Chains A and B, each alone.
Chain A
Amino acid sequence: MPTSNVDLVLNAEKRRRAYITEAVTALRKDVETTDFATLSQIYGPWSQALERVNRHITVAQEDIDAAAAQYGKVGHCLLRTLQWPENSIEVCPQGSASTQTLIRYPDRTKFDIDAVCQVDISRVDASDPVGFFESVGDALRAFSPTAKKRCWNIAYPGERFYLEFTPSIPLSTVSDQIVEAMAPRFLPAHGYEGTALAVVDMPTKRWKTSNPKGFTRWVDETADLSLIRFETSEFASLRRIRAGVEDVPDQDVEITDTLRAAIRLFKRHRDMCVRREIIEGEFKPISVVIVTLLTRCYAGLAAANRSYAHPLLLLVELAELLPHMVAPEGEYRVDNPTVDGENFAERWNDDNDSRYRAFRTWCDVLGADLRLILQERGDQAIRAEVDRVFGTTGAADADNDNEIRPLQASAHRPPPPPPRTVGLA
């Protein structure tokens, strides 16, 4: 029986060291107020600096649009090639693209848009999952897809994104016989049955339960819980459904949407820790683990009736509790809340603690870095430290038009000098 969110949080609260909270409390000095405007003034320089990071790591809308256009094309190609009717498949985003926690990598390499392609059971021979997986790959041949464990990867040379396309069928339409044959046989969690899918697990050549829509719904519903006492701006999720192909949600998230902001900032910090060689890329905590732990923590805080006077305080709370959301004793577990029995931290249990240690090291450094940021004073110093920690040197301010244009053609411009060859010597 998985531990409830509130129990996890209460246990984490017992284990925590309040060293970041101390730093944030020190900013208030002797000011005893819960007034949001006053607190915003006190915490402004730090929350604005983090807001700037949050904005900087957002994948540009034009890149999202370009990816979304391709993703629609892939769905339509599938329909056309397999000669299926319009309503026989549904393509929707999954992973960070659907939870609005998509961020760009520090080195500006490609971002991935995960999409799940849900196919009407009548079009599939459910007794042959591998055949189904491969038929989707064949249909996508024009895109030169590469098979991965559960999805087809489509690279787009010259673009800033790639697609990961997961073929699936609705779990509710699968026969009991097939469900019996699934290994391991995870069932959708209570309340998430309607969105559960069966995807093909190529290493075992069997169906496996997945629930990307349910997971997104869980994150969305949790993020909508209000933990800020004097929230001034409301976050409204923008989801548009169109002809079976669901658009990628807008990735603009404000820091007042604290759960998503925390997920995005912490994921960026994780990526920077890999760049800084603090943790090894092979063992870094994967995104779904970070999303799950933070969302459970947020949900647990809400269930325990905690509330915070400012998003910065909640952000710090999440960072401080995060390392304790995984019990260090016994089997490491990060349960998928939408699929009973699925443990996102399965691999932590057979790697000599490498992943758990990487997780703890990352959490420690996250805490230490936030503390350093909170100990800085003055806009310039805060900004410099934030830039160091999150690798955002040069991130734009909200009100700054940064563009400098190349020189215009001029009548005075001399023709370029002839090229010169450098000889090896």
Chain B
Amino acid sequence: MSDQGPLNLAGLARDFPDLIPDPLYRDGGVVYRLRLPRLPGGRAFGGAELVLPPGFPDYAVAKIRLAKDAVLRIPHVEGDGTLCIAGDPGPGITDRLEDRIYWLLSAYHDKFLVRWVAGELDGDFAREPMSYWLIHVARAANRTSDPIKAVWTVDRCPLVSRLVESPLLLPGGIVVVGDAGNNAVSRRIRESLGVRGRQQMQVLVADVPITHALTPGTWPRSVEDLGHILQGRLLPDEWDRLKRPCNRRGRPLHRLVLLRNGGYGFAYLLPGGPPTHTWDKKHKRAHRPLQKPQPLNVVRLDAAWTAGRDQCPEVSARQGRHVVVFGAGALGSPIVDQLAKAGVGKIDVVDPQDLATANLGRHLLGADHVDSAKSFAVADRVNLAYPTCEVKPFYVSAQIWLREHGLSGIDAVLDLTGEPIVRSCVDHARLRNPCPLLLGWMEPFVAAAHACMLPADVAWFQGAHDPMEELNAVDWPDAVVIQEPGCSSRFQNYTAAAATHAVALVAEQAIKLIDGPESAPRVLSWVRGQQYLDDHWSNLRLRAWAEQAAAYDGLVLERTFPIE
């Protein structure tokens, strides 16, 4: 590295006279200061510098860093002062480092300086308000003594302001808001947190809907600011209660103010809660109560966000759906997972088997659940992963479950067992309680997979005839399906990757069936091409209806049901 640093600045200096060519060596990198033009009073900031971080040019990109006084005062500035603009494209684009720096300095001047001074960036805080809020939260946080670390919301924003009690899960310091009157979600969250949610205490939350994204210029700064907001929004008795926060025993409660809308959430812990203690080795330390409101991160766990990123209006209705899934095997277990991810509110999963090591290569569960009941293990896993879905396990056969529960109140049945007796019992139960049905199954090697969707009034059995075999895409020789030693069940080796096609097909159709409205009965099939068949077994042929897939790696085909 030369005295001038790693760059030849002579060329750059012509177009960027504000670049001071004296390198400063800092934090393993090189820094060049940038002179600032005369900026108007409200737009001035302490300084700017070109930073070539360690790893530049091969593994890092050059950046512009502004003085700390720019943070939260100027948009697009990260917590450490780095200006978030696209400038240096990184290695591989050009051999000339000076070009990369030229692009960066141009972007700094034209995309930032010019626009900042012209006021064109003023509205940009509101475009990504949570990024700046997180910087604010991080600055105010004290990891050891903060009694509350974050707020998790599990419902949609209320239409009118309300004062609610919510659980604070300790020692994780997480308040779960929005589970009023039904603590199922917070219970599942507590379980998913493990030791972080071992204890709980109640906190008082003023849950206030807002219209605008709050920005550094409009964040409430003080108890008085928050008081102005709350006084106009809460009912007089709620306002009084928030001002005198005690539980039934007269002990002080923590108080939170949660300002949120469908997209954003901002929370403050108010001063005046119970004292906070931490353990410092063997000594218990008491911490000073808050002197001013502490900003807190708000994390959304409601299904509209986790399942639909607010772009899927169907999620709201799915939350009210109750689905039963028969079979928690290679097809059923990932389908339960997919339904939970899609926002389905309640799933009964029915399977009488335990997980065996032979299942591991293609099951949702792993070796930690070998010899566990599949239904319970799947339910545990999905309940922990997706608190907005309640999965109830049944370690019984589908027949017994149907005898004991029937299909009353069930919005959709998924038969993913492949078992004729289950198909028969399900059809029988549907006579009493008509209910949409999806039958899903795979053929050997997952050379084909099928999802048959039947409206509530259409039976699977055509008289006494079970149509599954004739819906298949291939005539399978007996030798393909190996008899498992000591077991009457059939199995056939296939990869989890191949099965994923089947899972995707069945999961998509299951979600459509759950969303409704019911359409005409039909069968959707994923059929692999001739090359795939040849790679797995000799002399396999697609049936006539499926032959059109032969030339492809795979094709999705739709048929009416029953087939003609």
Q: Which residues of A come within 8 Å of B, CB atoms?
A: 107-108, 272, 274-281, 357-358, 361, 364-365, 368, 383, 387-388, 391-397, 400, 402-407, 410, 412-414, 416-418, 420
Contact = CB atoms under 8 A, between A and B. Distances in A.
B162 to A, nearest CB: 15
A403 B39 CA distance: 9
B42 A391 contact: no
B350 interface: no
A417 B109 contact: no
B14 A418 contact: no
Contacts of B123: 107-108
6 closest A-B pairs by beta carbon, nearest first, are A414-B99, A361-B232, A394-B42, A417-B89, A276-B218, A277-B210
A394 B43 contact: yes
Contacts of A368: 224, 228
A272 B102 contact: no
Contacts of B119: 108, 394
A391 B41 contact: no
Nearest to A281: B211
B296 interface: no
Given A397-B41, A417-B93, 10 more contacts: A276-B214, A357-B232, A361-B228, A387-B42, A388-B217, A410-B14, A413-B106, A414-B96, A414-B99, A418-B93
A414 B106 CA distance: 11
B486 interface: no
A364 B230 CA distance: 13
B122 interface: yes
A356 to B, nearest CB: 11
A410 to B, nearest CB: 5
A412 B103 CA distance: 11
Contacts of A387: 42, 217
A296 B229 CA distance: 28
Given A280-B211, A368-B224, A414-B99, A407 B109 contact: yes
A395 B41 CA distance: 8
Contacts of B73: 393
A278 B228 CA distance: 6
Interface stretch (B50-58, B110-118, B417-425): B110-118
A406 B115 CA distance: 9
Interface residues of B, number: 44
Contacts of A402: 40, 43, 117-118
B42 A393 contact: yes
B91 to A, nearest CB: 12
Interface string B212-239: 1010011010001100110111000000
A418 B117 CA distance: 28
Given A404-B117, A412-B15, A417-B94, A107 B232 contact: no
A414 to B, nearest CB: 4
A57 to B, nearest CB: 13
A408 to B, nearest CB: 9
A405 B113 CA distance: 9
Contacts of A275: 212, 218
A107 B110 contact: no
Contact of B114 (A279, A280, A404): A404
Contacts of B102: 412-414
13 contacts: A276-B214, A276-B229, A361-B231, A361-B232, A383-B41, A388-B217, A393-B122, A394-B119, A397-B40, A403-B117, A403-B118, A404-B117, A406-B109
B407 interface: no
Contacts of A358: 232
